[in-house]
Amino acid sequence: MDTPSRSSALFAEACRLIPGGVNSPVRAFRGVGGEPFFVDRARGAHIWDVDGKQYVDFVGTWGPAILGHAPQVVRDAIARTAERGVSFGIPNPLEVEMARTIVDWVPSVQKVRMVSSGTEATMSSIRLARGFTGRDKIVKFEGCYHGHVDSLLVKAGSGALTHGSPDSAGVPAALAALTLTVPFNDMDALRAVFAAHPREIAAVIVEPVPANAGLYLPRPGFHELLRALCTENGTVLIFDEVMTGFRLAKGGYQEVCGITPDLTALGKVIGGGLPVGAFGGRADIMSWLSPEGPVYQAGTLSGNPLALAAGLAQLREMERLDGWRQLEEIGAAFEAGVRRALKASGKDYNFRRIGSMFCLYFTSAEVHDLASAQSSDKASFARFFHACRERGVYFAPSQFEAGFLSLAHTEVDLGEVEKITSEALLGL
């Protein structure tokens, strides 16, 4: 009888102790079948599982590892800061430094508050927008995932989509009824929802580049219309840049597209791999937050010194290296390799990339919203995923997740991935 791998043994134990054996559903491999492996260590563009197998990693902690895993500058910053204390619950200078950096870099942000996760950032942004406007209704887009907030788990993406239901049990119907959903990129539907609810909508929240139903891009004029309708109706426009913030550009996607939201939710990169989130925007809106205003929001670990030290070190290194230019070059080289692999395999699949984020849809149809993303052949993706994993390349275990590149991905890594991708595609 074969001895089970260490990962299998750990997963069996985890299933006994943790619901589904994982602490976040997307890790469970339900979208691809099989069992997840357990990671022992990570460095640069590579991870090693507890059984010693090495992978080229394109998950990157789901986005934060923009320099690669465990970069020296981040580890040094954490170590120096830990010598002085790991948590205070009292203001510390790093909070001011991070706030100054965000306000200086992100075009729309005049004031910002730190939290401990992207979910807290979007949740707090919604509460703030409702308090500021005195309205209850909000609009979100189908397939956009904004964390596990009750109001936002309506036609959501990410793990909610992977696991077969874009909604969640436990969300009161009365609360869900206040969330109006619109297909992304559908300008007529966007006009219609404002026409049906004139001056009743507190906020529109959007991933400006949706990255939780794979990855698809906004059509020309979409965000311009969204901004105009929000302004006309006194509605707060919230950009959820937890994924795109500090990854697609120094100032996030809003710097790229030239649209100024009223509030912005941030996370991922600004924590250097540690738990973090932030939300900020117009000073007149942010002044409604307690203790300055009547909208309550709090968190014991908000502004945690380790997370902020790690994030600041990472941001400074990106700036020093002109990292966004380098990431575009790495992304272009990666895309060229994927397209060569697709051509060699004779597969007419739909590849999407912006900067260092990407997704390969297993469909020849144009993908521009949730409905077209769901035309992807999930069974083919699952076979592709396992074929790549067996050969030492790790993509996200779901068709409906974006992949992430880092400055640590080398020409050698990309060449190996092109070869393995070609083999996996030919085997479908």
pLDDT digits (tens, 9 = 90+) for 156-171: 555 554 444 446 677 7
Of 279, 294, 320, the one marking the end of a domain is 320
Residues 337 and 288 placed together within one structural domain of the fold: no
pLDDT of the residue at 156: 53
Residues 52 and 84 placed together within one structural domain of the fold: no
Residues 212 and 304 placed together within one structural domain of the fold: yes
pLDDT higher than 60, residue 97:
yes
pLDDT digits (tens, 9 = 90+) for 108-151: 999 999 999 999 999 999 999 999 999 999 999 998 888 877 67
Mention every residue, 6+ apart, whose C-beta is less than 8 A from residue 119.
146, 147, 148, 149, 277
Q: Which of 49, 140, 145, 413 is catalytic?
A: 145
**Residue 379 and residue 103: Cα distance in Å, rounded?**
44
pLDDT higher than 80, residue 334:
yes
pLDDT digits (tens, 9 = 90+) for 182-213: 999 999 999 999 999 999 999 999 999 999 88
φ, ψ (nearest 5 deg) of residue 77: -65, -40
Residues 65 and 85 placed together within one structural domain of the fold: no
Residues 63 and 94 placed together within one structural domain of the fold: no
Report the run of H or E that residue 168 belongs to, with start and end: none
Q: Which of 57, 240, 369, 413 is catalytic?
A: 240
pLDDT of the residue at 149: 76
- For the segment 91-98, the average pLDDT, to the nearest whole number, is 97
DSSP secondary structure letter of residue 105: H
Residues 60 and 167 placed together within one structural domain of the fold: no
pLDDT of the residue at 164: 43
10 Å CB burial of residue 293 (0-12, 13-18, 19+) is middle
In a domain, 152, yes or no: yes
CATH code, domain carrying 213: 3.40.640.10
CB 102 within 8 A of CB 278: yes
Q: How many CB atoms lie within 10 A of CB 261?
A: 30
The residue written with tokens 């707060």 in the block is 236
Residues 312 and 165 placed together within one structural domain of the fold: yes
- For the segment 10-23, the average pLDDT, to the nearest whole number, is 94
Give the Cα-Cα-Cα angle 49, 54, 56 (nearest 5 degrees): 115
CA dihedral (131, 133, 134, 140) positive or negative: negative
**Residue 131 and residue 128: Cα distance in Å, rounded?**
5
In a domain, 1, yes or no: no
Print the domain residue range for 217: 72-320
Q: Which of 111, 140, 155, 268 is catalytic?
A: 268
**Residue 62 and residue 307: Cα distance in Å, rounded?**
16
CB 73 within 8 A of CB 48: no
pLDDT higher than 80, residue 340:
yes
Q: In residues, how long is the chain? A: 428
Residues 173 and 285 placed together within one structural domain of the fold: yes
- Does the annotation count 268 as an active-site position? yes
Domains in the chain, number: 2
The two tokens of residue 419 are 């070869």
**Residue 74 and residue 82: Cα distance in Å, rounded?**
12
Overall pTM surpassing 0.85 (yes/no): yes
DSSP secondary structure letter of residue 84: T
- Does the annotation count 419 as an active-site position? no
CB 241 within 8 A of CB 253: yes
- For the segment 260-286, the average pLDDT, to the nearest whole number, is 97
φ, ψ (nearest 5 deg) of residue 378: -70, -30
Q: How many CB atoms lie within 10 A of CB 82?
A: 12
Strands (E), 8-71: 39-43, 46-49, 54-57
Residues 24 and 160 placed together within one structural domain of the fold: no
DSSP secondary structure letter of residue 4: P
* C-alpha separations of 220 from 217, 225, 274, 425 in Å: 9, 10, 35, 32
Residues 53 and 114 placed together within one structural domain of the fold: no
Encode burial over 206-240: b for 16+ CB neighbours within 10 A, e otherwise: bbbbbbbbbbbbbeeebbeebbebbeebebbbbbb
Residues 293 and 374 placed together within one structural domain of the fold: no
Residues 270 and 347 placed together within one structural domain of the fold: no
Percent of the chain topping pLDDT 70? 95
CATH code, domain carrying 10: 3.90.1150.10
Pairing relation of β-strands 179-182 and 137-141?
parallel
CB 274 within 8 A of CB 307: yes
Read out DSSP for 181-202? EE-TT-HHHHHHHHHHSTTTEE
| Mean of pLDDT over the chain | 93
- Does the annotation count 155 as an active-site position? no
